[in-house]
């Protein structure tokens, strides 16, 4: 029993230590966000990395999510005689919940993993040490541009996901299931408020921080060799995805 | 001058440096030799301030860098140049951009001057015409030359070379050694070379120190090291396995 408690205690202490280390890393990054010199070129490059390169996957998943929602919700709402509410149901689901969450998960898989691998390879090939040895702060060059880029790009990607999803739903509801175009869009105008849109934006911004923070941290403190980078990449994707879902619940319950 | 006093470092339970004492004089080329995995690179990282020791001091021009904060340490690092083992070139930058990087980021010199200095540095290391290539497109020997050009571009007072010839064929190995000596003569920096190139290093270094089991077991000129009676030094020089006893 004592041994079990000791193992549990040691595990808990190690978890607290690791969380503290991660949190210090994030606070350090935020500090350099506000301290010049600012690296605008690197910021633009990372915005392209997160945004432009994730566009295809966002368009694809967004459209299919909207289509699936339309199909499922249509049959459910029809049972209650509320099929006229299909448009707002799709829009609200996407804007408040599915757009921010699914787009963040997609970007984690596409860009987050690549980011961890890139920073991890820079670590094991001593490129990060080279920056430090040149008296240049690696946080400013590698971490800050990614965190700021993610904060700016995640809401935009979620917005694109929402719009494409709504049009995916439109294709199924109007073109396939024969719903009137006017009903689909006009009801949406009635039910979707600015507050719903803001909730989606708040979520996306926080997901941007989570994904860039976790992926940068895991790459920055990667283990040795190719195996270390591979392990860091897997951990970054899993941890980011889990944190997105957990944080989504908490922020959702606060904002509701 | 660099003075290392009683430097100790352990990773978990493994003691890598066990009280290293060494003095490196201004403008000399000091080689640190020793078997692979013997703590040479760890020792070098302490000299650059990339690792903090468990105990002991590293004095660079009289300043103990182990006690400095990041800002003060960065001021010391501005005097240093480092050639890392694999070159540590930035993959996303061309050869030109890699060499220009410290100048662009750390100084306020004009674009024209950067261009002139980078092209001169590339010519010094025999890489004229390679400036538009990316690190992935050049050979291992060329990468080391680019790393050397990058380390020298800010005209540092001290240059560290972490196994600059590892993985190179004998011809390239000798050309890199020649390059280190030539640039040392031209720029007059203090050089610290981590190496296990025996006997080539005897023609390069002014003095040689042997690191074994976390301590410096012998320091001297190449002739003194060649004629040393220390069994560990002798065995290392003739290429036999060194038993792990302490001197």
Q: In percent, how much of chain A has pLDDT > 90?
A: 78
What was the pLDDT predicted at B186?
86
The whole-number average pLDDT for the span A206-235 is: 94
Residue B44 lies in a domain: yes
- Provide the pLDDT confidence category of residue A82 given band limits of 50, 70 and 90: confident
Torsion of CA B84, B87, B88, B93, to 10 degrees: 150
Other Cβ atoms closer than 10 A to B132: 10
Using the beta-carbon criterion (under 8 Å), do A129 and B88 form an inter-chain contact? yes
Q: What is the mean pLDDT of chain A?
A: 93
Q: How far is B151 from chain A (nearest CA, A)?
A: 9
- Provide the pLDDT confidence category of residue A81 given band limits of 50, 70 and 90: confident
What was the pLDDT predicted at A130?
94
Strands B215-220 and B14-24 come out as unpaired
ipTM of the complex: 0.86
Residue B140 lies in a domain: no
A15 in contact with chain B, both atoms CB, cutoff 8 A: no
What was the pLDDT predicted at A235?
95
Nearest Cβ partner of B88 from A130, A135, A137? A130
Using the beta-carbon criterion (under 8 Å), do B45 and A129 form an inter-chain contact? yes
Using the beta-carbon criterion (under 8 Å), do B80 and A133 form an inter-chain contact? yes
Question: Which chain A residues contact residue B74 at CB under 8 A?
Answer: 135
Residue B235 lies in a domain: yes
- Provide the pLDDT confidence category of residue A146 given band limits of 50, 70 and 90: very high
Stretch 115-174 of chain A: residues touching chain B, C-beta under 8 Å: 121-122, 125-127, 129-130, 132-137
- β partners of residue B30: B192, B207
- Rounded to the nearest 5 degrees, what angle is found at the Cα of A57, between the Cα atoms of A55 and A61? 120
Nearest Cβ partner of B48 from A125, A133, A136? A133
Using the beta-carbon criterion (under 8 Å), do A135 and B84 form an inter-chain contact? no
Residue B233 lies in a domain: yes
Q: Is the pLDDT of residue A224 over 90?
A: no
The whole-number average pLDDT for the span A82-105 is: 93
Boundaries of domain holding B49: 1-66+177-247
Residue B128 lies in a domain: no
* pLDDT digits (tens), chain B, 247 positions: 899 999 999 988 888 999 999 999 999 999 999 888 888 889 999 999 999 999 999 999 989 999 998 889 989 998 899 999 888 999 989 999 999 999 998 888 899 999 999 998 888 888 888 889 999 999 888 898 899 889 989 889 999 999 888 877 888 888 888 888 888 888 889 999 998 888 888 888 999 999 998 899 999 999 999 888 888 888 888 876 555 555 5
Question: Which chain A residues contact residue B78 at CB under 8 A?
Answer: 135
Other Cβ atoms closer than 10 A to B24: 22
Q: How far is A105 from chain B (nearest CA, A)?
A: 27
Residue B213 lies in a domain: yes
B185: CATH: 3.40.50.300
What was the pLDDT predicted at B240?
62
Question: Which chain B residues contact residue A135 at CB under 8 A?
Answer: 73-75, 77-78, 106
Between A187 and B47, whose confidence is greater?
B47
What was the pLDDT predicted at A138?
92
| CB proximity list for B43: less than 8 A, separation 6 or greater | B4, B7, B17, B20, B32, B194, B211
Residue B82 lies in a domain: no
Q: Is the pLDDT of residue A102 over 60?
A: yes
- Counting the structural domains of chain B, the total is 1
Using the beta-carbon criterion (under 8 Å), do A134 and B90 form an inter-chain contact? no
- Are residues A146 and A94 in contact, defined by beta-carbon separation less than 8 angstroms? no
| CB proximity list for A179: less than 8 A, separation 6 or greater | A74, A83, A86, A173
- Give B131's DSSP letter: T
What was the pLDDT predicted at B141?
83
Nearest Cβ partner of A135 from B74, B85, B89? B74
What was the pLDDT predicted at A60?
96
Nearest Cβ partner of A135 from B78, B88, B90? B78
Residue B89 lies in a domain: no
- Are residues A71 and A174 in contact, defined by beta-carbon separation less than 8 angstroms? no
Q: Strands (DSSP E) along B39-182, which ranges?
A: 55-60, 63-64, 80-83, 158-162
What was the pLDDT predicted at B163?
87
A7 in contact with chain B, both atoms CB, cutoff 8 A: no
């Amino acid at each position: 029993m004592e041994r079990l408690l000791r193992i549990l205690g040691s595990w808990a202490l190690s978890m607290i230590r690791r969380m503290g280390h991660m949190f210090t890393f994030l606070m350090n990054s935020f500090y350099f966000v506000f301290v010049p010199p600012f690296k605008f070129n690197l910021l633009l490059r990372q915005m392209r990395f997160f945004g432009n390169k994730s566009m295809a996957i966002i368009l694809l998943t967004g459209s299919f999510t909207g289509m699936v929602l339309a199909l499922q919700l249509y049959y459910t709402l029809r049972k209650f005689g509320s099929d006229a509410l299909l448009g707002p149901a799709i829009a609200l689901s996407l804007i408040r919940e599915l757009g921010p969450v699914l787009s963040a998960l997609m970007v984690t898989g596409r860009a987050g993993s690549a980011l961890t691998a890139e920073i991890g390879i820079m670590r094991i090939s001593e490129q990060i040490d080279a920056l430090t040895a040149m008296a240049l702060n690696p946080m400013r060059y590698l971490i800050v541009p990614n965190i700021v880029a993610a904060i700016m790009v995640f809401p935009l990607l979620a917005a694109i996901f929402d719009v494409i999803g709504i049009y995916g739903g439109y294709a199924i509801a109007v073109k396939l299931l024969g719903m009137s175009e006017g009903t689909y869009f006009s009801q949406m105008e009635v039910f979707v408020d600015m507050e719903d849109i803001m909730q989606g934006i708040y979520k996306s911004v926080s997901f941007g921080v989570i994904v860039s923070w976790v992926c940068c941290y895991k790459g920055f403190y990667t283990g040795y060799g190719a195996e270390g980078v591979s392990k860091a990449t897997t951990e970054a994707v899993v941890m980011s995805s889990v944190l997105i879902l957990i944080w989504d619940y908490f922020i959702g319950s606060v904002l509701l | 001058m660099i003075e290392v006093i009683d430097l100790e470092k352990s990773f978990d339970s493994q003691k890598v440096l066990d009280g290293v004492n060494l003095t490196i004089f201004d403008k000399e080329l000091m080689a640190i030799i020793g078997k692979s995995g013997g703590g040479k690179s760890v020792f070098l990282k302490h000299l650059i301030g990339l690792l903090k020791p468990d105990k002991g001091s590293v004095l660079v021009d009289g300043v103990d860098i182990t006690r400095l904060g990041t800002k003060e340490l960065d001021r010391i690092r501005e005097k240093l140049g480092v050639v890392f083992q694999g070159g540590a070139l930035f993959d996303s930058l061309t050869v030109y951009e890699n060499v220009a990087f410290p100048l662009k980021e750390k100084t306020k010199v004009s674009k024209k001057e950067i261009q002139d200095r980078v092209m001169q540095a590339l010519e010094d290391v025999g890489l004229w015409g390679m400036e538009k290539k990316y690190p992935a497109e050049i050979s291992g020997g060329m990468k080391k030359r680019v790393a050397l050009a990058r380390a020298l571009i800010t005209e540092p007072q001290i240059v560290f070379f972490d196994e600059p010839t590892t993985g190179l064929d004998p011809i390239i190995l000798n050309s890199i050694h020649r390059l280190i000596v030539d640039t040392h003569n031209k720029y007059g920096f203090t050089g610290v070379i981590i190496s296990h190139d025996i006997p080539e290093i005897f023609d390069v270094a002014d003095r040689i120190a042997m690191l074994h089991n976390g301590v410096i077991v012998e320091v001297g000129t190449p002739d003194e090291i060649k004629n040393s009676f220390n069994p560990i030094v002798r065995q290392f020089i003739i290429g036999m396995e060194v038993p792990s006893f302490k001197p």
